[in-house]
Chains A and B, each alone.
Chain A
Amino acid sequence: MSQPVLDVQGLSVNFRTSHGVVNAVEDLSFQIGEGETVAIVGESGSGKSTAALALLRLIPDPPGKIVSGSVRLDGTELLTLSESEIRHIRGFKIAMIFQDPMMALNPVYTIERQIGEVLQLHLGMSRRERLLEAIELLRLVGVPAPEERVQQYPHNLSGGMRQRVMIAMALACRPRLLIADEPTTALDVTVQAQVLDLIQGLKDKFGMAVMLITHDLGIVAETADRVVVMYTGRKVEEGSVTEIFDDLRHPYTRGLLGAAKWEEGDGDMLREIPGTVPSPFDMPTGCSFQPRCPLAEARCLSDRPGLETFAPGREVRCFIAGEARS
């Protein structure tokens, strides 16, 4: 692989709270190449959304703070840019779409105006150009009758349409990286597939890198090229989709996959990972997954496992990774 579009090295994000400092993201490294989709997977509170916001330097500070690491976009370090320089990256080089399209559009403005804002900020288009481009973008993301839709308000559109509008806004400046933070969670199952297909198709068309944040392993299997599994702010496993689904090594990944699958003989039972994500104020000693891990040994309770690299882009944070094959 040539130079990756996005290169994250050792990214750590802290939150200072009244109860102490929380490591929301710890020593996170991953890369996304051109035209590649990398899925960031994990339960709620595993730090995936925080990591995404950190890339755009949108962590609310205080209480949050990026304490260390490096984020390079096409070789440019983002963490040392000035506030006005990073603003020029946001929406222009890196675009983001959010979980809830109901909430992510401003209710008082028309679609034209909201798409136009991006075009005006970064491309300096005139009013007339903005209108034409907005219609063109809506057509690109498959909104029917874009000439009429563009004059409407968010409440006139369905959830799937709004998410398409969000994607249109995100793509307005042909970004290098698209961050999709659970883009389909708030949508109907039937619409989910359409939106995902749309993102995939546009990714191929523009050669974007896509960072897909999700907890839905079905989506991962269908759309991602590589997978980063996160737990309590740390990467616990990384690999290609086939490696993750066919040759997973971390017990947490196994648990996630087990919870997602329903097999003959399960009856009405939903499989789950026993226990809950530990409180960030009360991290267990040793491996953070150890209290919930069916394979935990004595050393898991006392020592923290490091990331073990098996091959380029194939890493696992587990002592017994070698043995724990499925």
Chain B
Amino acid sequence: MKRFHIFWFRFRRNRAAAGGAVVLAAILALAAFGPVLYDVDPFEMVGRPFMLPFDRYPLGTDVAGRDILAGIVHGARVSLMIGVLASVAATIVGVTFGAVAGYYGGKIDDILMRTTEFFLCIPSFVLAVVLVAIFQPDVVTVTIAIAVVSWPSVARLARGEFISHRDREYVLGCRAIGMPDWEIILLQIMPNALPPIIVVSSLMVATAILTESGLSFLGLSDPNLVSWGYMIGVARTVLRSAWWMAAIPGAMILITVLAINLVGEGLNDALNPKLRK
């Protein structure tokens, strides 16, 4: 618990990170409680299309007369959920690959890292598009597709951390007391290697949200769910006559991604061992 206090002290001292955390908390609250408090179906035609914001509906209506605020509120849930789940999945796969490759080295390392590089050298958005296009576009496949294009960077980072730790004396000490490899990897090296991985995967949430928005902009997302990217995609054709229709969800994406990045940077400063003491 003492370690957590030190971490929290460092994190709070960083104003940008603290600000980002507040904004992020607000967006999380919006995603969690918004749909309950503002119970309007985002697909229902509630009025005349192209209504201005603050007219009859707080943010107006879109090309099909759908309430934009309802879309923002429901879209927050989808965007954040896909972003977080994809990052978690990518982190688990990436850390597993990286840890095994880094700890054992040699041929195992070669095989795992060549696999990783195979994924790295394909443009990630194109790969995500292809994956979603092959399978049915729904929440699960979109999440999986984003995770598939995101894990290689985590794997490389984790591998580097494990390589730097595997030859340290405490690891040799663990082997000298007869500890099995899995225990050394999971319980001994992992806690030491985790801080930079946490930072990268928190920043990855922002990238994942952007990728999801890009996919839904292209219409490659779950047709039964509203997301911010989908709203921008719908508003694209009327950008010149009704710019706010694209600008509102766009601003939401911008604010969310910015807040996550600020929090990630704050985590980095608070967890980075080079800045300790």
A107 proximal to B (CB < 8 A): yes
The distance in angstroms between the C-alpha atoms of A56 and B176, with both chains bound, is 7
A106 and B176 form a contact (CB under 8 A): no
CB distance from B244 to the nearest CB of A (A): 50
The distance in angstroms between the C-alpha atoms of A103 and B169, with both chains bound, is 5
B168 contacts across to A, CB distance below 8 A: 103
A98 and B180 form a contact (CB under 8 A): no
A98-B173 CB under 8 A given contacts A62-B106, A103-B168, A106-B192: yes
CB distance from A15 to the nearest CB of B (A): 14
A96 proximal to B (CB < 8 A): yes
A100 and B176 form a contact (CB under 8 A): no
A95 and B177 form a contact (CB under 8 A): yes
B178 proximal to A (CB < 8 A): yes
The distance in angstroms between the C-alpha atoms of A121 and B174, with both chains bound, is 11
A283 proximal to B (CB < 8 A): no
Fill in one digit per residue for A82-126: 1 if any B CB lies within 8 Å of its CB, else 0: 000011111110011011100111111100000001100110000
A122 contacts across to B, CB distance below 8 A: 177-178
The distance in angstroms between the C-alpha atoms of A16 and B52, with both chains bound, is 75
A121 and B177 form a contact (CB under 8 A): yes
The distance in angstroms between the C-alpha atoms of A117 and B171, with both chains bound, is 13
CB distance from A63 to the nearest CB of B (A): 9
CB distance from B150 to the nearest CB of A (A): 27
B175 proximal to A (CB < 8 A): yes
Which of B106, B169, B179 meets A98, CB within 8 Å? Answer: B169
A104 and B169 form a contact (CB under 8 A): yes
CB distance from A106 to the nearest CB of B (A): 5
CB distance from A54 to the nearest CB of B (A): 13
B170 proximal to A (CB < 8 A): yes
Total inter-chain residue pairs, C-beta < 8 Å: 60
B176 and A117 form a contact (CB under 8 A): no
Which of A91, A100, A107 meets B178, CB within 8 Å? Answer: A91
Which of B106, B173, B180, B192 meets A104, CB within 8 Å? Answer: B173
A169 proximal to B (CB < 8 A): yes
A58 proximal to B (CB < 8 A): yes
CB distance from A153 to the nearest CB of B (A): 9
B172 proximal to A (CB < 8 A): yes
Fill in one digit per residue for B111-126: 1 if any A CB lies within 8 Å of its CB, else 0: 0000000000000000
User: What total of chain B residues lie within 8 Å of the partner, measured CB to CB?
Assistant: 16
A87 and B170 form a contact (CB under 8 A): no
Which of B169, B172, B180 meets A87, CB within 8 Å? Answer: B180
Fill in one digit per residue for B181-214: 1 if any A CB lies within 8 Å of its CB, else 0: 0000000100110000000000000000000000
Interface residues in B100-153 (C-beta closer than 8 Å to A): 106
B177 and A117 form a contact (CB under 8 A): yes
The distance in angstroms between the C-alpha atoms of A86 and B176, with both chains bound, is 10
Which of B169, B177, B191 meets A90, CB within 8 Å? Answer: B177
Which of B169, B173, B178 meets A121, CB within 8 Å? Answer: B178
CB distance from A110 to the nearest CB of B (A): 11
A90 and B178 form a contact (CB under 8 A): yes
The distance in angstroms between the C-alpha atoms of A118 and B173, with both chains bound, is 11
Q: Which residue of B lies closest to A56 (CB)?
A: B176
Q: Which residue of B lies closest to A166 (CB)?
A: B173
A121-B176 CB under 8 A given contacts A104-B170, A106-B192: no
B106 contacts across to A, CB distance below 8 A: 62
A91-B177 CB under 8 A given contacts A98-B172, A103-B169: yes
Chain A contact residues, CB within 8 Å of chain B: 56, 58, 62, 86-92, 95-96, 98-100, 103-109, 117-118, 121-122, 166, 169
Q: Which 7 A-B pairs have the closest CB atoms?
A: A91-B177, A90-B178, A103-B169, A104-B169, A87-B178, A91-B178, A96-B176
Chain B contact residues, CB within 8 Å of chain A: 106, 168-170, 172-180, 188, 191-192
Task: With A87-B179, A91-B179, A169-B173 given, name 6 new contacts (CB 8 A).
Answer: A90-B177, A103-B169, A103-B170, A105-B173, A107-B170, A117-B179
Can you list 15 residue pairs at the A/B interface with Cβ under 8 Å? A58-B176, A87-B179, A87-B180, A89-B178, A90-B177, A98-B172, A98-B173, A99-B169, A100-B169, A104-B170, A106-B170, A106-B188, A117-B174, A121-B177, A121-B178
